[in-house]
Amino acid sequence: SQQGEEDPQALSIQEGENATMNCSYKTSINNLQWYRQNSGRGLVHLILIRSNEREKHSGRLRVTLDTSKKSSSLLITASRAADTASYFCATGGNAGNNRKLIWGLGTSLAVNP
Amino acid sequence: NAGVTQTPKFQVLKTGQSMTLQCAQDMNHNSMYWYRQDPGMGLRLIYYSASEGTTDKGEVPNGYNVSRLNKREFSLRLESAAPSQTSVYFCASSGQGATEKLFFGSGTQLSVL
């Protein structure tokens, strides 16, 4: 079963703009992760944020986690055409199931040059 | 450093045929996973191996078998392929546990006619 729900399902922006996508989940978690998938390729890990963290940065990426709202957001600043991909959130250490990640359905991001 | 290597990249089977998808990782990871990815369904876990010598069922194990040949290699076998097994298959590995960062292979696109 899918726990994470990404929002929006699809996003189209111009190069240089910021892109924000959201992930909501249902149970308590130990961590939340974001992955990128370019068309026809495997998933690549972007960032992991633990339940006791509120914000994390990695280059142009900023992830926030609000455990009270059971939600996370991924912000990509100054987007580039190369950021065009699908982005997935996955939650780990879920209550009642700490043995695997639970995945969302993804946000498809198109960055237009 | 190749990471996670999957073969083949593409395969077309007829209903009832069998095949084995191969996966190898060179990161000395204990845990390995097989996922399938279908449009609108997200990533679903087929089988996983927490360590060499152990395998466990995931969400959608029916119609599949796995072998953890050694620490590096984890294969997925379809004994009698069905059209419902048409999908993109991903192998992944993790060095820190089932709910930590995953490293993915580039995928196998399988069509069952």
Q: Please write the tens of the pLDDT for every residue from B21-30.
A: 999 999 999 9
Using a CB-CB cut-off of 8 Å, the residues of chain B touching A41 are 106-107
Residue located via tokens 């050694």 = B70
On chain A, the residues whose CB falls within 8 A of the CB of B59 are: 1
- The percent of residues above 70 in pLDDT, for chain A, comes to 91
What pLDDT band is residue A1 in, cutting at 50, 70 and 90?
very low
Burial grade of A67 (CB within 10 A; 0-12, 13-18, 19 or more):
middle
Q: How far apart are CA B75 and CA B7, in angstroms?
A: 10
Q: Is the pLDDT of residue A96 over 50?
A: yes
Does the pLDDT of residue A93 top 80, yes or no?
A: no
Cross-chain CB nearest to A42 (options B50, B56, B106): B106
In this complex, do B45 and A41 lie within 8 Å of one another by their Cβ atoms?
Answer: no
Mean pLDDT of chain A: 91
Which residues in chain A have Cβ-Cβ distances shorter than 8 Å to B33?
100
Please tell me the predicted confidence (pLDDT) of residue B41: 80
Q: Tell me what the mean pLDDT of segment A34-57 comes to.
A: 95
Selection from A38, A75, A68 nearest residue A52 by Cα: A68
- Note whether A106 and A86 are within 8 A (CB): yes
Average pLDDT over residues B33-62: 92
**Bond preceding residue A8 cis, omega within 30 of 0:** yes
Q: How much is the mean pLDDT over chain B?
A: 94
Considering only CB atoms, which residues of chain A are within 8 Å of chain B? 1-2, 30-31, 33, 35, 40-45, 48, 88, 90, 92-94, 98-101, 103-106
| Residues 6 or more apart in contact with residue B89 via CB below 8 angstroms | B6, B21, B34, B35, B36, B37, B46, B76, B107, B108, B110
The full length of chain A comes to 113
Residues in B lying within 8 Å of A, measured between beta carbons: 4, 33, 40-45, 48, 50, 56, 58-59, 90, 92, 98-107
When pLDDT is averaged across residues B100-106 and rounded to a whole number, the result is 94
